[in-house]
Structures are given as structure tokens and as C-alpha cells.
């Protein structure tokens, strides 16, 4: 593995519809009132507990989220439905996940200054795949007109950074020359909009990056991948039991564990120190001082988490531009979050400047990539 790997292009697809905290809370509270009215007798005799209203102020204070983009707004906000309304398509049409993946991917391919046919590997790396098979990546490969091979992978929120490492290894070993890693995240499909603790957390988006062998990348273009570190630590604190075996036990069908469930406080406490330690150890082993970093693009799950991690890494309060936030506008978009921050807040870096791209989440999984602007 002598050649280097370079990120030469990024892309971002943002759905046209957005839901503010206020809109989301109004719909949630309307559902709570309907629910409590329908169960007034059981609530009065103590057999069930009344549901409690949500609050836009709580959401912004606890998470930093103000709004989120979604594939379908009306279905989510309808208090009688609270699920996105995304009609199934015939197998002869592009699937919705493939469609948004291609919208991000084509931008990344254009930014890299290559043609789709020059891409010889496609990795769809995301938390929420639309179906079991054929792989989403193979549908994306065909829709783009890419060549070579394609596969899906899922490491929840760390799917993008783990995918970039796979791509980097592929170009370094020569198994591919130009790899597209694409992260279509339709998180609202697996979010329980009737759960007060988590109904505000996620949004929908797609991101993409192109990784090329250094020898193929135009001089002065893109970001050299100096180092990548991946770590996984098993935890049940972020879990979703949806899967093909659900039908083998009818008693569990429709239960809430088939959607996103988390112990948010535990995640916060356990993941923040592990992320800061990983980045710090990585920088030390590369002989890089944290203050030589121009930027860290962190996973976008919670503003308080990011503030804490950035403070631990830099050993001081970083300036807002050193650790950019997109969470306020996009909410948590799982694997896409750090890539959105990278895509939107990287154009001002100059050749030679150093930065870290880092994700963390379910698994637990932590991926950190040190980049140098070419």
C-alpha cells in the first residue's frame, strides 16, 4: 500500500421540506391530547399514565436542534399518522433511497471533475437501508452509470467514516481506483414520532464523497487522508430490533423496539470521553498538536456533546468556526452529519492545513479521519 488516498469531491442533497421544532411539537402535543382524551377512563383509574406535552425550548436546549429536513412533512405532522408518507414504487422505478443517493453522488462526482463511468466502486454506507437486497449500492451504481463493484454497509452513525476507510484501503491496495461513498439517510422512516424523548432527534438527507488514488487526483485538489482510526464497542444503549426475523415471532410485531430507541444520557456520558480520547491518541501518534488543527467536523447528534468533545480535544473552548455546527438546521442525520459539516465548511482551508472528520454513534462506533488540504 504505497499510494495515498484523496477525497476529491463531496455532495449534499437536502430535501425541500423542513419541520421546525415548533411545528413538530404542535403535532406531538395534538397527538398527546387525542391520546389522553381517548384513554381518559384508564388514566382516571390509574391503569395507564397520561402522556405529557413536548417542548420546543427543551429540544433546543437539550440538543441544539432547531429544525430538520424531511422527505415527507405532511405524514409526519398529521397527528393521526406521525409517519412519513412515502408511497412504495414499482421495482421498475428508481427507489427513493437510490434517487436521493444519486442526487448527492452526482454533485460529488462533478466536484471531483470525473465522469460517473470513471467510478469503479460504490459503497452505500448508511444506518437505514430501504430493503434487504439487491444492495442499494448496486442500484446506485447502475443508475449513475458507474463501473466495477458495489456493496452496502451499515455502522449506524459511523457508516460514512468507516466507508471512507474502506474506500481509502481499496484505492491504496489497487482493488479500485475511484470509489464513491454515499450516505442516503431517511432517518424519519425509523423514528418514533410518538416518543417524547426522541421524536425531535433525526432528519433526512444524503451525502457523498469521492475517494481517488493520489496518483489519479489532480494536483492541488482535495484532501489527503493522512490517517483513519475505527473503533467499535458493543452497547445496547442505541438499538433498533427491526429485521427479517420479526415475522418469526408475531408477538413482537409493531412493538416500539422495532424503531429507534436510546438511553440518551448514557450515550452522552459513555461516548464523549471515548471520542475525545480516540482523536487525542490519534493526533499524538501522528505527532500533530491539537492546536495545529484548523477544523474538526464532528458527528452532529447533540450540540452539548460536540462542545464537550471539541473542548477536550483542543484543551480550550474552540471558536465556532473550528468545530462547525449544522445540527441546528439539519438535526441528527446519522452517518451524513459530519459529511454535511465538511461539505459546507471546508472551502476556506488552505493547502497544508490539517483537519479531523469524526463520527460516533450506535454500536458504539467511532471513526476519526485526519485530513490534509492539498
- Interface with ligand CO8 includes 27 (CB under 6 A)? no
Q: How many residues bind ligand CO8 (CB under 6 A)?
A: 30
Asked whether position 339 contacts ligand CO8 by CB under 6 A, the answer is no
Grid coordinates representing 357 are: 472528520
Residue 265 contacts ligand CO8 per CB under 6 A: yes
Residue 81 interacts with ligand CO8 (CB under 6 A)?
no
Collapse the DSSP code of 318 into the 3-class scheme (helix H, G, I; strand E, B; otherwise coil) and give the result. Answer: coil
367 and 359 Cβ atoms separated by less than 8 Å? yes
Q: By CB under 6 A, name the one of 160, 181, 208, 267 that touches ligand CO8.
A: 267
Report the C-alpha gap between 46 and 42 in whole angstroms: 6
> What cell does 126 get?
448508511
Q: Is 151 in the site for ligand CO8 (CB under 6 A)?
A: no
State the minimum distance, in angstroms, from the CB of residue 102 to ligand CO8: 21
If 0-12 CB within 10 Å is exposed, 13-18 middle and 19+ buried, where does residue 348 land? Answer: exposed
Question: What is the distance between the alpha carbons of residues 300 and 339, in angstroms, rounded to a whole number?
Answer: 9
Q: Out of 128, 161, 183, 323, which residue is the one contacting ligand CO8 (CB under 6 A)? A: 128
Can 157 be counted among the known catalytic residues?
Answer: yes
Q: Which stretch binds ligand CO8 (CB under 6 A): 31-39, 51-59, 85-93, 167-175?
A: 51-59
Q: What angle do CA 194, 335, 284 make, to 5 degrees?
A: 130
State the Cα–Cα distance between residues 260 and 242, nearest whole angstrom: 9
CB nearer ligand CO8, residue 67 or residue 127: 127
Catalytic residue among 98, 102, 157, 187: 157
Contact mark string toward ligand CO8, 346..365, x via CB under 6 A: ---------------xx---
98 binds ligand CO8 (CB under 6 A): no
Contacting range for ligand CO8; rule: CB under 6 A; set: 3-11, 110-118, 258-266, 315-323: 258-266
Binding flag, residue 161, ligand CO8 (CB under 6 A): no
Whole-number Å distance between alpha carbons of 344 and 14: 12
- Selected from 168, 300, 302, 338, the binder of ligand CO8 by CB under 6 A is 302
Q: Does 234 contact ligand CO8 by CB under 6 A?
A: no
Alpha-carbon distance of 223 to 373, in angstroms, equals: 5
Return the number of the residue (71 or 121) whose C-beta is nearest ligand CO8.
71
Q: Rounded to a whole number, what is the distance in angstroms from the first to the last CA of the chain?
A: 20
Report angle CA 320, 324, 327 to the nearest 5 degrees: 115
Q: Which is nearer to ligand CO8, 197 or 218 (CB)?
A: 197
- The single residue among 160, 238, 276, 370 that binds ligand CO8, judged by CB under 6 A, is 238
Question: Applying CB under 6 A, does 22 fall inside the site for ligand CO8?
Answer: no
Sign of CA dihedral 359, 342, 297, 370: positive
Task: Give the footprint of ligand CO8 on residues 173-192 (CB under 6 A).
Answer: 187, 190-191
- In the complex, least distance from residue 299 CB atom to ligand CO8, rounded to whole angstroms: 8
Q: Left if phi > 0, otherwise alpha if psi is -120 to 50, otherwise beta: which for 39?
A: alpha
- With beta carbons less than 8 A apart as the criterion, state whether 171 and 184 touch: no
For residues 183 and 125, the answer to whether their CB atoms sit within 8 Å is yes
When the beta carbons of 119 and 336 are compared against ligand CO8, the nearer one is 336
How far is 42 from 44, CA to CA, in rounded Å? 5
Is residue 264 a contact point for ligand CO8 (CB under 6 A)?
yes
Nearest Cα residue to 370 out of 134, 164, 75, 76: 164
313-330: string of b/e by CB count within 10 Å (b at 16+)?
Answer: bbeeebeeebbbbbbebb
Site for ligand CO8 in 57-76 (CB under 6 A): 58-59, 62-63
User: How many CA within 13 A on the CB side of residue 77?
Assistant: 17
Give yes or no for residue 331 binding ligand CO8 (CB under 6 A). Answer: no
Q: Mind telling me the catalytic residues? A: 157
The footprint of ligand CO8 (CB under 6 A) covers 54-55, 58-59, 62-63, 127-128, 156-157, 187, 190-191, 196-197, 202, 238, 260, 262, 264-265, 267-268, 301-302, 305, 332, 334, 361-362
Amino acid at each position: 500500500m504505497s499510494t495515498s488516498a484523496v477525497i476529491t469531491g463531496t455532495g449534499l442533497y437536502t430535501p425541500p421540506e423542513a419541520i421546525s421544532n415548533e411545528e413538530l411539537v404542535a403535532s406531538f402535543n395534538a397527538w398527546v391530547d387525542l391520546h389522553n382524551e381517548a384513554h381518559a377512563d384508564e388514566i382516571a383509574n390509574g391503569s395507564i399514565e397520561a402522556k405529557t406535552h413536548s417542548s420546543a425550548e427543551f429540544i433546543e436546549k437539550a440538543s441544539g436542534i432547531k429544525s430538520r429536513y424531511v422527505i415527507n412533512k405532511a405524514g409526519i405532522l398529521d397527528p393521526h399518522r406521525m409517519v412519513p408518507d412515502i408511497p412504495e414504487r414499482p421495482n421498475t422505478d428508481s427507489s427513493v433511497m437510490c434517487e436521493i443517493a444519486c442526487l448527492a453522488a452526482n454533485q460529488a462526482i462533478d466536484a471531483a471533475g470525473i465522469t460517473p463511468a470513471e467510478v469503479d466502486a460504490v459503497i452505500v454506507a448508511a444506518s437505514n437501508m430501504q430493503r434487504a437486497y439487491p444492495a442499494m449500492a448496486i442500484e446506485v451504481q447502475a443508475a449513475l452509470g458507474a463501473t466495477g463493484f458495489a456493496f452496502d454497509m451499515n455502522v449506524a452513525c459511523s457508516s460514512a467514516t468507516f466507508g471512507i476507510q474502506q474506500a481509502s484501503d481499496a484505492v491504496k491496495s489497487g482493488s479500485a481506483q475511484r470509489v464513491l461513498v454515499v450516505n442516503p439517510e431517511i432517518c424519519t422512516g425509523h423514528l418514533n414520532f410518538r416518543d417524547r424523548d426522541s421524536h425531535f432527534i433525526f432528519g433526512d438527507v444524503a451525502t457523498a464523497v469521492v475517494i481517488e488514488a493520489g496518483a489519479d487526483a489532480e494536483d492541488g485538489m482535495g484532501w489527503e487522508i493522512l490517517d483513519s482510526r475505527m473503533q467499535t464497542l458493543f452497547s445496547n444503549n442505541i438499538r433498533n430490533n427491526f429485521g427479517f426475523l420479526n415475522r418469526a415471532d408475531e408477538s413482537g410485531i409493531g412493538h416500539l423496539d422495532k424503531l429507534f430507541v436510546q438511553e440518551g444520557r448514557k450515550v452522552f456520558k459513555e461516548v464523549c470521553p471515548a471520542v475525545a480520547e480516540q482523536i487525542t491518541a490519534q493526533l499524538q501518534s501522528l505527532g500533530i498538536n491539537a492546536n495545529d488543527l484548523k477544523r474538526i467536523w464532528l458527528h452532529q447528534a447533540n450540540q452539548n456533546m460536540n462542545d464537550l468533545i471539541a473542548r477536550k480535544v483542543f484543551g480550550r473552548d474552540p471558536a465556532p468556526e473550528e468545530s462547525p455546527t449544522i445540527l441546528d438546521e439539519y438535526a441528527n442525520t446519522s452517518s451524513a452529519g459530519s459529511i454535511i459539516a465538511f461539505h459546507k465548511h471546508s472551502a476556506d482551508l488552505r493547502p497544508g492545513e490539517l483537519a479531523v472528520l469524526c463520527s460516533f454513534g450506535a454500536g458504539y462506533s467511532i471513526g476519526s479521519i485526519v485530513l490534509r488540504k492539498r
